[in-house]
Amino acid sequence: MSEQQPTPQPQQDGPDTAPTGTGSQQSALVSRRDLMTLLIGSGASFALAATLASPLDNLIDELLDTRANTGYAKGESPHHWAMVIDLSKCVGCDYCVYACQATNDTREDMRWNIRVEDETPTGNVFHVTRPCLHCNNAPCVHVCPVGATYYRADGLVVMDYDRCIGCRYCQTACPYGARTFNWEERDDENPYTPEFGRPEISRRDRGVVEKCTFCIHRIDAGLAAGLMPGVDEAATPACVNICPVTARYFGDMNDPNSEVSRIIAEMPTLRLREDLGTEPNVYYIPAEGMSI
């Protein structure tokens, strides 16, 4: 949305198109003074329209934009991060859950990454783990009254904890239950540290909503240090690194050679609740016995 539409330049060749025969003949219909007023007036209007056109155009675009693309961070990114989770491989060991909890220092009942036991229509049990899906068309971004949740140019849906007022409408709107609220000041022990990792970010204040960030701190620091998220462990989300059966992949969708790009291109994958049009950036490889 940030790219500016080129504004059509108003025609400045007014005098050439002036009606012929009126100027010199002192016509009774239009006097020289009227003509000058008309020309200056229309010139000024054009100038005014030209200066206002671009901001007005942006405002109208913004108002009419039904896809709720507000909050796109300024600037551009060559990357678009995505995750692939292989349901046919997942054994339900919960290591990704614990690693996330240790790394992001979440509370036991406020996990960012959860596991649910699921069943195929034929009764085969499998495990679904669910981080935040970082939707391209995220209901949480749409509804936030203060724009505290926003899209980054690299596709991540992130939160500004300093802006959040704690109204919990994003929690209400998220189709995946991926958001948790800090009902009270944290003073709990983290049971999964140091075995599954150490806290890499500070705890969130009471009264704000939080959710999975795809370990944004690792991505940003890693890229700055010349590492590639999804390839170099230090720049990759904790849940992906720890998986003992390599059921999780992370990488750049904009790079056709990245592992996630190749899997999505070659394998049948599904995304949760495609029917809602949220376009998540987490793709699932179906479990055995599942139909897509």
Partner 1 sequence: MTATTAPNTQLNRPARNRFPWFWLWIAGLTAVLGVGVATAIHVLIEGLAVTNLSNELPWGLWITLDLSAIGLGAGAFTLSAAVYIFGMHRYEAIARAAVFVGLLGYSSAMMALFLDIGRPDRFYHPLLYWNLHSVLWEITMCVMLYFTVLAIELLPIFIESTALKRIDWLVALSHRLHRLMPIVAVVGMGLSLLHQSSLGATYGILTARPVWTSPSAPVLFILSAIAAGVSLTLFVSLLGSYIMRKQLVPSDVLRDVARIAGFAALAYLYLKIWSWAATNYYSEIPGRELGLEVLTENTPYNYTFWFGEVLFGALIPAVILLWGRLRRNPRNVMIATLMIVIGLVLNRWNMTLSGFVVPLDWTPGTATLPPNTYTPNLVEILVSAGIVAYSWLVFSLGLRFLNLYPDARKLEQVEIVTID
Stretch that binds partner 1, among 94-102, 212-220, 227-235, 273-281 (CB under 8 A): 273-281
Our CB check for partner 1 shows the closer of 76 and 184 to be 184
Find where tokens 């679904």 sit.
Answer: 128
Q: Which C-beta is closer to partner 1: that of 185 or that of 266? A: 185
Whether 82 contacts 61, CB under 8 Å: no
Enumerate residues 173-202 that contact partner 1 by CB under 8 A: 173-177, 179-185
User: How far apart are CB 153 and partner 1 at their closest, in Å?
Assistant: 18
Span near partner 1 by CB under 8 A; candidates 24-32, 59-67, 74-82, 98-106: 59-67
219 in Cβ contact with 227 (< 8 Å): no
CB-wise, 112 or 219, nearer to partner 1?
Answer: 112
Q: Choose one: 42-50, 119-127, 213-221, 239-247; the region binding partner 1 (CB under 8 A).
A: 119-127
C-alpha R_g of the chain: 27
| Rounded Cα–Cα distance for residues 1 and 71 (Å) | 10
SS3 218: helix
Pairing assessment for the beta strands 149-151 and 180-181 based on DSSP bridges = unpaired
Using CA atoms, how far apart are residues 90 and 246, in angstroms rounded to an integer? 8
- Cβ proximity to partner 1, 173 vs 228, nearer residue: 173
CA-to-CA distance for 292 and 286, rounded, in angstroms?
7
User: Rounded to an integer, what distance in angstroms lies between the CA atom of residue 82 and that of residue 214?
Assistant: 9
57 binds partner 1 (CB under 8 A): no
Q: Does 290 engage in binding with partner 1 (CB under 8 A)? A: yes
**How far is 167 from 99, CA to CA, in rounded Å?**
29
Binding mask 206-235 for partner 1 (x = CB under 8 A): xxxx--------------------------
Q: Give the dihedral sign, CA 289/272/228/216.
A: negative
Indicate whether 287 belongs to the interface with partner 1 (CB under 8 A): yes
| Residue number, 168 or 262, with CB nearest to partner 1 | 168
Cis peptide before 268 (omega within 30 of 0): no
CA angle 110, 112, 113 (to 5 degrees): 120
Query: Binding to partner 1 (CB under 8 A): which residues in 86-105?
Result: 87
Residue 78 or 277 with smaller CB distance to partner 1: 277
The answer to whether 55 contacts partner 1 (rule: CB under 8 A) is: no
Q: Looking up tokens 């010349």, which residue turns up?
A: 226
Instruction: Among 18, 50, 53, 270, indicate the residue that binds partner 1 (CB under 8 A).
Output: 270
Among the residue ranges 5-13, 49-57, 171-179, 246-254, the one whose residues contact partner 1 (CB under 8 A): 171-179
Residue 66, helix vs strand vs coil: coil
Q: In this complex, which beta carbon is closest to partner 1, that of residue 180 or of residue 241? A: 180
- Helix, strand, or coil (residue 172): helix
Q: Please say which residue, 50 or 270, places its beta carbon nearer to partner 1.
A: 270
Q: Which of 131, 133, 128 is nearest to 116 (CA)?
A: 128
Positions touching partner 1 (CB under 8 A) are 62-63, 65, 68, 70-71, 87, 109-110, 116-121, 126, 128, 130, 139, 142-148, 163-169, 171-177, 179-185, 205-209, 270, 272-273, 275-277, 284, 286-287, 290
